[in-house]
Structure 1
Protein backbone atom coordinates (compact mmCIF):
# COMPACT_ATOMS: atom_id res chain seq x y z
CA UNK A 1 0.00 0.00 0.00
CA UNK A 2 1.44 3.38 -0.99
CA UNK A 3 1.36 6.45 1.24
CA UNK A 4 -1.39 7.97 -0.95
CA UNK A 5 -3.62 4.92 -0.39
CA UNK A 6 -3.23 5.31 3.38
CA UNK A 7 -4.34 8.95 3.25
CA UNK A 8 -7.64 10.03 4.72
CA UNK A 9 -10.17 11.96 2.68
CA UNK A 10 -13.30 13.93 3.43
CA UNK A 11 -16.28 12.46 1.58
CA UNK A 12 -19.68 14.17 1.30
CA UNK A 13 -22.87 12.73 -0.21
CA UNK A 14 -25.71 15.05 -1.30
CA UNK A 15 -29.02 13.60 -2.51
CA UNK A 16 -30.62 15.51 -5.42
CA UNK A 17 -33.75 13.68 -6.50
CA UNK A 18 -32.68 10.46 -8.20
CA UNK A 19 -29.02 11.52 -8.28
CA UNK A 20 -26.29 11.74 -5.65
CA UNK A 21 -23.45 14.26 -5.77
CA UNK A 22 -20.28 12.93 -4.15
CA UNK A 23 -17.52 15.38 -3.21
CA UNK A 24 -14.10 14.24 -2.03
CA UNK A 25 -11.48 16.54 -0.50
CA UNK A 26 -7.83 15.74 0.15
CA UNK A 27 -7.07 17.64 3.40
CA UNK A 28 -3.32 17.78 2.64
CA UNK A 29 -3.64 19.54 -0.71
CA UNK A 30 -7.17 20.96 -0.25
CA UNK A 31 -7.97 19.56 -3.70
CA UNK A 32 -11.68 18.81 -4.23
CA UNK A 33 -13.42 16.80 -6.93
CA UNK A 34 -17.07 15.89 -7.43
CA UNK A 35 -19.03 13.30 -9.35
CA UNK A 36 -22.74 12.77 -9.86
CA UNK A 37 -24.21 9.29 -10.00
CA UNK A 38 -27.53 7.52 -9.68
CA UNK A 39 -28.94 7.12 -6.19
CA UNK A 40 -29.49 3.43 -7.01
CA UNK A 41 -25.71 2.91 -6.99
CA UNK A 42 -24.23 1.98 -3.65
CA UNK A 43 -22.31 4.50 -1.56
CA UNK A 44 -19.12 2.40 -1.77
CA UNK A 45 -19.24 2.35 -5.58
CA UNK A 46 -19.80 6.12 -5.76
CA UNK A 47 -17.07 6.74 -3.20
CA UNK A 48 -14.62 4.51 -5.12
CA UNK A 49 -15.38 6.39 -8.34
CA UNK A 50 -14.90 9.79 -6.68
CA UNK A 51 -11.60 8.67 -5.10
CA UNK A 52 -10.40 7.39 -8.49
CA UNK A 53 -11.19 10.80 -9.99
CA UNK A 54 -9.31 12.52 -7.16
CA UNK A 55 -6.25 10.31 -7.79
CA UNK A 56 -6.51 11.06 -11.52
CA UNK A 57 -6.62 14.83 -10.93
CA UNK A 58 -3.76 14.68 -8.41
CA UNK A 59 -1.60 12.71 -10.88
CA UNK A 60 -2.53 15.10 -13.68
CA UNK A 61 -1.43 18.09 -11.57
CA UNK A 62 1.96 16.44 -10.99
CA UNK A 63 2.54 16.50 -14.74
CA UNK A 64 3.97 13.90 -17.07
CA UNK A 65 7.05 11.90 -16.08
CA UNK A 66 10.40 13.50 -16.88
CA UNK A 67 10.94 11.20 -19.87
CA UNK A 68 7.75 12.50 -21.51
CA UNK A 69 8.43 16.19 -20.89
CA UNK A 70 11.27 16.48 -23.38
CA UNK A 71 10.90 15.69 -27.04
CA UNK A 72 13.67 14.14 -29.06
CA UNK A 73 16.01 16.81 -30.51
CA UNK A 74 15.85 15.25 -33.99
CA UNK A 75 12.04 15.46 -34.12
CA UNK A 76 11.11 18.06 -36.75
CA UNK A 77 8.59 20.72 -35.81
CA UNK A 78 5.35 20.60 -37.75
CA UNK A 79 4.55 23.83 -39.55
CA UNK A 80 1.14 25.36 -39.20
CA UNK A 81 -1.04 27.50 -37.04
CA UNK A 82 -2.34 26.26 -33.72
CA UNK A 83 -5.84 27.55 -33.07
Structure 2
Protein backbone atom coordinates (compact mmCIF):
# COMPACT_ATOMS: atom_id res chain seq x y z
CA UNK A 1 0.00 0.00 0.00
CA UNK A 2 1.29 3.45 -0.84
CA UNK A 3 0.51 6.90 0.48
CA UNK A 4 1.50 10.21 -0.97
CA UNK A 5 1.67 13.27 1.28
CA UNK A 6 1.67 16.75 -0.26
CA UNK A 7 3.08 19.45 2.02
CA UNK A 8 2.77 23.15 1.16
CA UNK A 9 3.26 26.39 3.05
CA UNK A 10 0.00 27.85 4.32
CA UNK A 11 -1.44 30.89 2.56
CA UNK A 12 0.11 34.04 3.95
CA UNK A 13 3.44 32.41 4.83
CA UNK A 14 6.32 33.88 2.83
CA UNK A 15 7.92 31.45 0.39
CA UNK A 16 11.45 32.66 -0.42
CA UNK A 17 12.24 29.51 -2.44
CA UNK A 18 9.11 30.00 -4.53
CA UNK A 19 10.03 33.64 -5.08
CA UNK A 20 13.56 32.64 -6.17
CA UNK A 21 12.06 30.18 -8.69
CA UNK A 22 9.65 32.86 -9.98
CA UNK A 23 12.53 35.29 -10.42
CA UNK A 24 14.72 32.68 -12.17
CA UNK A 25 11.90 31.81 -14.57
CA UNK A 26 11.55 35.51 -15.43
CA UNK A 27 15.31 35.69 -16.06
CA UNK A 28 14.96 32.74 -18.43
CA UNK A 29 12.31 34.59 -20.42
CA UNK A 30 9.16 33.14 -18.86
CA UNK A 31 7.58 36.47 -18.06
CA UNK A 32 4.03 35.26 -17.49
CA UNK A 33 4.73 33.62 -14.12
CA UNK A 34 3.22 35.86 -11.44
CA UNK A 35 3.75 33.60 -8.43
CA UNK A 36 5.31 30.31 -7.37
CA UNK A 37 4.69 28.27 -4.21
CA UNK A 38 7.13 25.45 -3.60
CA UNK A 39 6.29 22.35 -1.60
CA UNK A 40 7.28 18.74 -1.18
CA UNK A 41 5.86 15.31 -1.91
CA UNK A 42 6.56 12.41 0.43
CA UNK A 43 5.84 8.85 -0.75
CA UNK A 44 5.35 6.19 1.89
CA UNK A 45 5.32 2.41 1.40
CA UNK A 46 2.97 1.14 4.08
CA UNK A 47 1.87 -2.23 5.40
CA UNK A 48 -1.60 -3.26 4.24
CA UNK A 49 -4.26 -2.02 6.60
CA UNK A 50 -2.44 1.14 7.65
CA UNK A 51 -5.15 3.71 8.13
CA UNK A 52 -5.31 7.19 6.68
CA UNK A 53 -5.60 8.41 10.27
CA UNK A 54 -2.18 6.84 11.02
CA UNK A 55 -0.67 8.69 8.07
CA UNK A 56 -2.24 11.94 9.27
CA UNK A 57 -0.71 11.33 12.69
CA UNK A 58 2.69 10.88 10.98
CA UNK A 59 2.17 14.25 9.30
CA UNK A 60 1.18 15.95 12.54
CA UNK A 61 4.17 14.55 14.43
CA UNK A 62 6.97 14.63 11.84
CA UNK A 63 6.28 15.13 8.15
CA UNK A 64 4.76 18.63 8.26
CA UNK A 65 5.32 21.68 10.42
CA UNK A 66 1.64 22.35 11.01
CA UNK A 67 2.32 25.86 12.32
CA UNK A 68 3.30 27.05 8.83
CA UNK A 69 2.46 24.11 6.52
CA UNK A 70 -0.67 22.31 5.40
CA UNK A 71 -0.76 18.76 4.08
CA UNK A 72 -2.98 16.51 2.00
CA UNK A 73 -2.88 12.70 2.09
CA UNK A 74 -3.56 10.43 -0.89
CA UNK A 75 -3.80 6.67 -0.29
CA UNK A 76 -3.28 4.43 -3.32
Would you say same fold, with TM above 0.5?
no
Larger Rg: 1
RCO comparison, higher one (Cα < 8 Å, 6+): 2
TM-score by length of 1: 0.33
TM-score by length of 2: 0.35
